[in-house]
Structure 1
Amino acid sequence: MKTPRQLVTISHSYVVTLNRRLANEMARVGAGRWDVKAVAPRSFQGDLSPLKLQREPGEPSQVEAVRALFSRSAHAFLYGPELRTLLTNRVSLVHSWEEPYVLAGAEVALLTPRRVPLVFSTAQNLPKRYPPPFAQLEPWVVSRSAGWVAFGETVKQNLLARPGYAGRPARAIPMGVDVELFQPDRAMGAAFLRELGWEQEGPPVVGYLGRFVTEKGVELLRNALERLQTPWRALFVGGGPMEASLRAWGERQGGRVRVVTGVPHARVPQALNAMDVLCAPSQTIPRWKEQFGRMLAEGFACGVPVLGSDSGEIPHTMGDAGRVLPEADVAAWTAALAELLESPEKRRELSARGRERATTRFAWSAVAREHLDFFESVLG
């Protein structure tokens, strides 16, 4: 029997157990072929408060804690010197889930022995120019790597135009979704509606999940809803600077709009199951376009029919499982909503397509297999 290969995967996001799902799934689906070691900070300064390394009993991957220095900046933090030992002891491949232009990404590349292949993951979906020293770090890390993973097809196409990237093996792999947590459950959705003062019987519910900001298309969705002749209700779940104006608009809609904030991730499946249609009307702006769109994969997994704009990665995430619409065309959005709201049969068809896409493309087990398959192709 062949000795399993040794994979070291590194990410500051691994400080949170949920973010180690990729590492744990690679250990699970690669059992017998790969031993997986996940390197995480002992602590890291999060957006709201310091985060301490979380551990769960029975994790398939071996979790190794190292120091993180200067972690108030995701661009400028560094791992402690103990990382060097973890990268030099019988390692077959190093996977760095740190962008190649940040200091930690360069540190991982520097400490990985030349004989050990390095693969990094990146989410850069826009052409950008970085200031020194980050502009100098990126091409060096790319030249040191044996390959790279793009979190989406638009990320891959964007980076292939940058110096050095086209000369390395690359693969576009989506982010994953927990298809056991996110699954169709209309009873759970009906309970969520009752909490809002609605019954399941009534006009179909048009849903939105995400930040309440202009670039996410909140204004376009409001305009499309106002044009509808078909009866509707609307559920906006999220938060952001447009909350006040969204609530004010909702109060003028005669009780058919609910705006819900502060929903923890564990309750998102309930909110999605309360929706009959999920809308992702993202709008491209000069410094942003939609990336993977996690709410799309989660909506698919819950069997919710999805309408999405043609901004950024959305068409690639959607495939043929949802409807892709022009991002600025209010009339097209109004027509598509009317068609779905008036046809339970079409909603059922999209629901089945979405669930199948979630389980075959976005399930963490499928995402982990794609990573290991790519690593094996790099090793030859």
Structure 2
Amino acid sequence: MLDLQSKSLGEEAVQPLNGLRVALFSGNYNYVRDGANQALNRLVDYLLRQGAQVRTYSPVVDNPAFEATGPLVNVPSIAIPGRSEYRLPVALSAAVKKDLAAFDPSVVHVASPDVVGHKAVTWARDRGIPAVASVHTRFETYPRYYGFGFLEPLVVAGLRRFYNRCDALIAPSESMVALLKEQGMNDDVSLWTRGVDRTIFHPSMRDMAWRRSLGIADDEPVVGFLGRLVMEKGLDVFAETIERLRKQGVRHKVLVIGEGPARGWFEDHLPKDGNGTGVFIGHQMGADLGRAVASMDVLFNPSVTETFGNVTLEVMACGLPVVAAAATGSRSLVNDGKTGALVTPGDTRQFAKALAAYLTDPALTRAHGDAGEARASENSWDRINQAVADTYLRLLSADR
């Protein structure tokens, strides 16, 4: 029997998409909270409000991180070895195929290049149904963080085969669109950027009393980390950079927002002598997350795995500068020297120099933070999600 979950949205449609039926395949729709699956849930919310029908096929667990938006059909899966919080879809079972055939989608949207994603694309191609893939992370970079960097060319080749079997790709940043084309992943790549909730992420959420409760003095600048605590987020680069700041005598505290399997490693590798000591507050949501983000002074994001960088946009919306690796995602958001600083990935000396500039110059921090907030205000979720619907409709109207 199929596991079926749903959420009633009850919001008025603004642009009708009646007759559009989207089958969405995701390796993680809601059982672990991250930027990718939250973007997918917002997309489904938008499509349903516009009159489309959407059915999502993804692993289902007993206690998901958040309630799924729209109907959710369970796909057989197994826990990923060493990362048991994530599950790997393993089969397009007979029950799922029967449900899929009954739904009779007009478009198949695949959000992860896993086994079931491959099978879903094959299912669509066999029936002449457009297949769209959204790219949410740079999977080819993951092996380098676990000592298997030599496998990266093989991963790139596998992704190229998968993405070229799709009719079109959608990617969340202009830099990622360019990279996918450069890598030969597909010739048809559209932009699906990300939005930000200004009721949560806004400078007014800053709370100095809350900071004091964490042992952070009002005149003590805060370097923030926001995201899953996993090695592929660049935790080693972050820790080494903070150690450089400590040795240089740059006064600061580190505020870490998030949870993950590498939390213990991160705690062990941040300085312990009071100058740069990390304050870990775990996973935050809603207004609590907005308060924590706005109470930083600068975000440090050394990761090169993001295709967009939701956390970067959220911090910018709070009127704060960002020091980030000059990689896909961040390059499309951070205006180097105006809203933050872009640094060669892994260059801890330059990262420390960029951070020190903000930590010692409040006027520079305010100026770049204000510019970042202005940039973030351009991102409207409904306008952004309509771009995905436009890709669906373009493929449906093309001669096939």
**If the length of structure 1 is used for normalisation, what is the TM-score?**
0.75
Deviations 1:83-124, CA, capped at 9 Å, x for gaps: 33454445332211121xx21012211322533211012334
Partner of 1:36: 53
Q: 2:109 corresponds to which residue?
A: 95
Correspondences of 1:172-211 after superposition (within 5 Å): 172-187=191-206, 189-199=207-217, 201-210=218-227, 211=229
In structure 2, do the counterparts of structure 1 residues 192 and 161 end up closer, same or farther at CA, with 3 Å as the change threshold? Answer: same
Whole-angstrom distance in 2 between the partners of 1:120 and 1:181: 29
- Give 1:341 deviation, angstroms: 3.5
> 1:331, CA displacement in angstroms?
5.2
1:223-273 Cα deviation digits (max 9, x unpaired):
0353256x5444344524131232xx23253xx634215333454322222
8 Å CA contact 1:325–1:333 kept in 2: the answer is yes
C-alpha distance in 2 between matches for 1:103 and 1:347: 46
Match of 1:47 in 2: none
CA distance in 1, matches of 2:315, 2:196: 10
Aligned 1:191-340 pairs, distance under 5 A: 191-199=209-217, 201-210=218-227, 211=229, 214-227=235-248, 231-238=251-258, 239-246=263-270, 249-253=271-275, 257-266=277-286, 267-282=288-303, 289=305, 291-319=307-335, 321-330=339-348, 332-340=350-358
The question of whether the paired residues in 1 share the 8 Å contact of 2:324 and 2:343 is answered with yes
SS at match of 1:71: strand
| Aligned residue among 87, 90, 93 for 1:77 | 90
Structure 2 residue corresponding to 1:354, chosen from 356, 361, 372: 372
Taking the TM superposition and a 5 Å limit, the aligned residue runs for 1:9-88 are 9-16=24-31, 19=37, 21-28=39-46, 31-32=49-50, 34-41=51-58, 43-44=60-61, 51=63, 55=67, 62-63=70-71, 65-73=72-80, 74-75=87-88, 77-88=90-101
* Distance across 1 between alignment mates of 2:256 and 2:182: 38
Structure 1's unaligned 5+ residue stretches are: 45-49
Deviation at 1:22, TM superposition (A): 3.0
Amino acid at match of 1:128: P
| In 1, Cα distance between equivalents of 2:20 and 2:119 | 23
Specify the code of the residue in structure 2 equivalent to 1:170: V
Give the fraction of aligned pairs with identical amino acids, expressed as a percent: 21
Residue of structure 1 in register with 2:121 after alignment? 109
**Residue correspondences, number:** 348
Structure 2 unaligned segments of length 5 or more: list them: 1-15, 81-86, 141-151
Aligned to 2:190: 171
Is contact 1:250-1:257 (8 Å) kept? Answer: yes
CA 1:226–1:298: 2 relative to 1, 3 Å: farther
- Contact kept in structure 1, 2:175 and 2:331, CA below 8 Å: no
* Runs of 4+ in structure 1 over 6 Å off: none
Return the alpha-carbon distance in structure 1 between the equivalents of residues 272 and 199 of structure 2: 33
How far, CA to CA, are the matches of 1:93 and 1:228 in structure 2? Answer: 57
Secondary structure of the residue aligned to 2:283 is: coil
SS in 1 for 2:153: coil
> Is the Cα–Cα contact under 8 Å of residues 150 and 156 in structure 1 kept in the other structure?
yes
* Residues 113-150 of structure 1: per-residue CA shift (max 9 Å, x gap): 5332110123346353159xx94x962x4454211123
Q: Quick one: distance in 2 between partners of 1:273 and 1:369?
A: 29
Contact kept, 8 Å, 1:228 with 1:338, in 2: the verdict is no
Rounded Cα–Cα distance in structure 1 between residues aligned with 2:129 and 2:95: 18
Say what the alpha-carbon RMSD is for the aligned residues.
3.6
Question: Counterparts of 2:323 and 2:17 in 1: how far apart (Å)?
Answer: 47
Deviation at 1:305, TM superposition (A): 1.6
Instruction: Give the counterpart letter for 1:114 in structure 2.
Output: R
Write the letter of the residue equivalent to 2:23.
V
CA pair 172-215 structure 1, distance change in 2 beyond 3 A: farther
Change (3 A) 1:36 1:179: farther
Deviations 1:187-241 (A, max 9, x none): 4x32331221234x32332323343855442211330353256x54443445241
Distance 1:373 1:264 in 2: 34
User: In 1, distance between residues paired with 2:160 and 2:346?
Assistant: 34
Q: TM-score, normalised by structure 2?
A: 0.72
Task: Output the CA distance in 2 between the equivalents of 1:261 and 1:303.
Answer: 21
